[in-house]
Structure 1
């Protein structure tokens, strides 16, 4: 399926989370989805610096590196960004445009000893159609495919405020 390049035209509603989400790495901007041709990485584990350095050089479909694209957008490069695990709707391009997230590189990763637990019926007071509560848990022997975004601190704050329905909540930068 051709998923296109316009984030507003993403064919799946955010309320249909958890799936389907982007099948390959991309750089999200408010106007465009820049699909990335990721290089295969042969490693059992990587440091954050190694991941950032690797992703910075990956090329988009147009042949531009991720760092060059971020520079073109007038935002900080990969080296100055922090990772944020994007579970469910936060990896959906239509939700990111609603949140006004701004340029955000997103990669697909495998995380070992990690499990997502969908808890839609855990508390009936919090059940709403289209709202999917997810809990991330350390689970030895399990693994999940997930989306890892690379954001600035203001972007992370904005994403957390969205999850708290517009309130700052209890989130504080680490």
Structure 2
């Protein structure tokens, strides 16, 4: 992808949050710049300093490394699971320069919050939160921002209703670096529901990158209503896009309380 203005990035409300970056990028208010990844660390896990170094070594098209442009020493990792990884939306938020990379999550999944954001369209759009799902995996996005920007970015999800979304540190699941940006999640046919629990009938693919320290990563969580409860099942964003979820499922079920679907530090 050639450099382009973030205002040229598609952001159709009915399909929110897609499309999302399919490779590592540097978001700025003026342009989106492709980043070239470097060698995957050989360690089993990375701490915060290791992750900062990993981000700093991405290469720009002119050959410079990202660490020459951004001081990562004060930046913290933020998981951006939905619209917060969409460059057009980041432009609305007036976000700082942000490198965005893809990471793999395991035993946790992205799911729709049981709420509507009606700031732009009626009846509104749904944002993405997180829930546990043993055996599951999928790709999502990670960035590094300074604490003040992190707080402001997460607060954007609230709109006019403060404290619905809070920055949390999760205590379960795995977040890891991944070499295969096109890694697919389990198909719908690989899920089995016995009326009580949902099982993934497929093994998690072998790791291609180290896991990250969950205690250092901030995850935006919808803490007012939690996520949608589809007759006991978690709705996976990758299987049920925004419009389909809203038209076919929303308000036909109940909600899971946020603290019941995930544990936190």
Q: TM over 0.5: same fold? A: yes
Residues in 2 aligned to 1:3 and 1:168: alpha-carbon distance in whole angstroms: 38
Secondary structure of 1:112 counterpart: strand
Give the alignment's Cα RMSD to 1 decimal: 2.7
Give TM-score scaled by structure 2 length.
0.55
Secondary structure of 2:46 counterpart: coil
Which position in structure 2 is the counterpart of 1:68? 68
Aligned ranges 1:4-43 → 2 under 5 Å: 4-10=3-9, 12-13=10-11, 15=13, 16-41=15-40, 42=42
Which position in structure 1 is the counterpart of 2:187? none
Extract unaligned runs of 5+ from structure 1.
71-76
Aligned residues: 164
Residues in 1 aligned to 2:162 and 2:18: alpha-carbon distance in whole angstroms: 27
Residues in 2 aligned to 1:44 and 1:128: alpha-carbon distance in whole angstroms: 46
Compared CA separation, residues 123 and 33, structure 1 to 2 (3 A): closer
Q: CA deviation at 1:95?
A: 0.3
Q: Which runs of 4+ in 1 moved over 3 A?
A: 42-45, 122-130, 170-174
Residues in 1 aligned to 2:112 and 2:137: alpha-carbon distance in whole angstroms: 15
Which position in structure 1 is the counterpart of 2:80? 86
Residues in 2 aligned to 1:124 and 1:165: alpha-carbon distance in whole angstroms: 11
Give TM-score scaled by structure 1 length.
0.80
Q: Which has the higher helix share?
A: 1
